[in-house]
Amino acid sequence: MTKILFVCHGNICRSPMAEFIMKKLVRENGGQFHIESRATSTEELDNPVYPPARRKLSEHGISCDGKFAQRITRKDYESFDYVICMDSRNLRNIAYVIGEDDEGKISRLMDYTDTPGDVADPWYTDDFETTYRDILRGCEGLLKKLTNQ
């Protein structure tokens, strides 16, 4: 079973959106995956998914009930096959928590699309629709890579 961990700054917007979008894609397309999400910071620990992110997922028939922010640990790095960050800042911040990416597990979500780059943080942009679309494209690209479709 392939284990995927999505990571963003607070684990209340982008990474939980990616977690639950990917879970939906896997349900629809099949495959053996374990999918979770975490934060690089401690700012939002134990908080639920941010209401606008929850609403955007709900608009697409996706529930994120029961999700609360957690911070990534070194043990997470060791346990997961892929650690997928939402932006370059997450890549830098994750190094403070886990150290070097000795196993080459860490990448950005949009690197699995034809437009590599960062997923904009809707906490600042307030554009949850664009963030949703970017995350969906990234998850579709990642799933395609992992299932060799």
pLDDT in tens, 22-46: 999 999 998 899 999 999 999 999 9
pLDDT given at position 31? 84
User: Could you report the per-residue pLDDT of 90-99, keeping only the tens digit for each?
Assistant: 999 999 999 9
pLDDT given at position 70? 98
72: nearest Cα among 48, 57, 91:
91
pLDDT given at position 30? 83
pLDDT given at position 112? 97
113 φ/ψ sector (left φ>0, alpha ψ -120 to 50, else beta) = beta
Query: What gap in Å lies between CA 55 and CA 39, rounded to an integer?
Result: 20
For the entire predicted model, the pTM comes to 0.96
- Residues of the chain scoring pLDDT < 50: none
Task: Enumerate the active-site residues.
Answer: 8, 14, 121
Greatest extent of the chain over all pairs of C-alpha atoms, in Å? 39
pLDDT given at position 149? 54
Decide: helix, strand or coil at residue 41.
coil
